[in-house]
Amino acid sequence: MLAHTTGQALVKAGGDTWFFLTADYAFGAALERDTTAVVTANGGKVVGGVKHPLNTPDFSSFLLQAQASKAKIIGLANAGGDTTNTIKQAAEFGIVKGGQKLAALLLFLTDVKAIGLETAQGLNFTETFYWDMNDQTRAFSKRFAEKMKNNAPPTMVQAGVYAGVRHYFKALEALGGNPHDGAKVVEKMKSMPTEDDLFGKGEIQPNGRTIHNAYLFEVKKPSESKGPWDFYKLVGTVPGDQAFTPLSESKCALLKK
C-alpha cells in the first residue's frame, strides 16, 4: 500500500526518475522492491540506489550519492529514526531546496512533529488517516487528543486500532455478544463491510487485509500551517482496490483454504 500510493502518485505527478536510500534489512528491501515495481509499471525509471546500515548516525555519503544522481525523487526505504535522521541531514545538504523531492515510504504524524516543519516541508509520503481530513476525523481526533497528555491527535496506526476494535464489537453484536469462539468472530468480521468515521467504507479480504482509501500527502511550509498539528496538505487519493495488493497477487496461506 505504501509503495503503490507513493510511487504511483509521484510518477504521475512528474517524478519519473528515482534513487533509493534503503535500510539494509528485509523491511527496507521490500519497500524498495515494491516501489520499484510500481515506478517502472507507471513509466518511471530507477537510476540508482544505496543501502545503509540500520540505525546509522551519518547519512552524508548516502545523501551525496542521491544528490549526485540528479533523480527527481529520492525514495527513503527506511523507517523510524533512520527516516527522521535522513530527512534532517538532507536539509543540511539543501537537497529539497535544490529541486529534488524526498519521498518517505513510511512516516507518521509524530515523526513530522519531531522533525519540525522548517526541515520537513515539501516531504511526500503516504498515510491512510489524517486527523484534519473532514468533520468526522476532526471530531474523533478532538476526543482522542483530550485524553493524551500532549494533546496529540492520533496517528494512522492509532486510528486503525480504534477502527479495528469498533468493527470487532459490531461483529460480536451480530453474533449475540459471545466472544468465546474467536474463529466465528473473525469469520463474521470478514463477511461484514467496514464503515466508520475514520476510514469510511471498506472491506476485509479473505486473507485478513482491510481495504480502504490511501492518501498521498505533502508536508506544509511553516507559513501554511495554522496550528500545532496542521502539517499536511492532500496531494492525491488512491482507492483501496488500487492501493493494496490485489488478491490475485497475495501469497497468504489463508487463501489456499
Whole-Å CA distances, 54 to 22, 45, 74? 9, 26, 18
Is residue 168 located within the same domain as residue 220? no
Which pLDDT value is given to residue 4?
87
60 and 15 fall within a common domain: yes
- pLDDT-flagged residues of the chain (< 70): 257
Backbone angles phi, psi at 87, to 5 degrees: -65, -45
Number of domains in the chain: 2
What sign does the dihedral 54-60-62-66 (CA atoms) show? positive
The answer as to whether 232 is a domain residue is yes
Give the CATH number, domain containing residue 123. 3.40.50.2300
Among 190, 209, 228, the domain-final residue is 209
117 in any annotated domain: yes
Does pTM surpass 0.85? yes
78 in the same domain as 38: yes
pLDDT of residue 256: 83
216 membership: H or E segment, kind and range: strand 214-219
CA 20 to CA 198: how far, in whole Å? 32
Q: Left (φ > 0), alpha (ψ -120 to 50) or beta: where does 209 sit?
A: beta
Q: What's the confidence (pLDDT) of residue 118? A: 94
- Residue 111 shares a structural domain with residue 37: yes
156 and 184 inside one domain:
yes
Tell me the C-alpha distance between 108 and 129, whole Å: 10
The rounded distance, in Å, linking the Cα atoms of 102 and 79 is: 14
Q: Please tell me the distance from the alpha carbon of residue 56 to that of residue 99, in angstroms, as a whole number.
A: 26
Scored b (16 or more CB within 10 A) or e, 225-240 reads: beeebebbeebbebeb
The reply to whether 78 and 142 lie within a common domain is no
The pLDDT of residue 198: 96
What is the distance of C-alpha 179 from the center of its chain?
Answer: 32
Contacts 24+ apart (CB under 8 A), 49-52: 49/19, 49/20, 49/21, 49/22, 50/19, 50/20, 50/21, 50/22, 51/22, 51/23, 51/24, 52/21, 52/22, 52/23, 52/24, 52/78, 52/82
Residue 257 domain flag: no
Confirm if 121 and 222 have CB atoms less than 8 A apart: yes
193 and 104 in a common domain: no
Partners of residue 103 on adjacent β-strands: 75, 124
pLDDT at 37: 95
Beta bridge partners of 185: none
Domain assignment of residue 37, yes or no = yes
149: containing domain: 135-209
Q: What is the pLDDT of residue 60?
A: 96
The predicted structure's pLDDT at residue 254: 85
- Look up residue 22 and give its DSSP letter: E
**Maximum Cα–Cα distance for the chain, whole Å?**
62
Same-domain check for residues 120 and 236: yes
**pLDDT of the residue at 232:** 97
- The verdict on 78 and 164 lying in the same domain is no
Q: Are residues 46 and 159 in the same domain?
A: no
Q: 250 in a domain, yes or no?
A: no
Residues 104 and 172 in one domain: no
146 inside domain: yes
C-alpha cell read off for 125: 509520503
Q: Is residue 248 part of a domain?
A: no
Q: Is residue 124 domain-shared with residue 235, that is, in the same domain?
A: yes
Strand order in the sheet with 73-77: 45-52, 17-23, 73-77, 101-104, 124-127, 214-219, 232-238
**Within a domain: 222:** yes
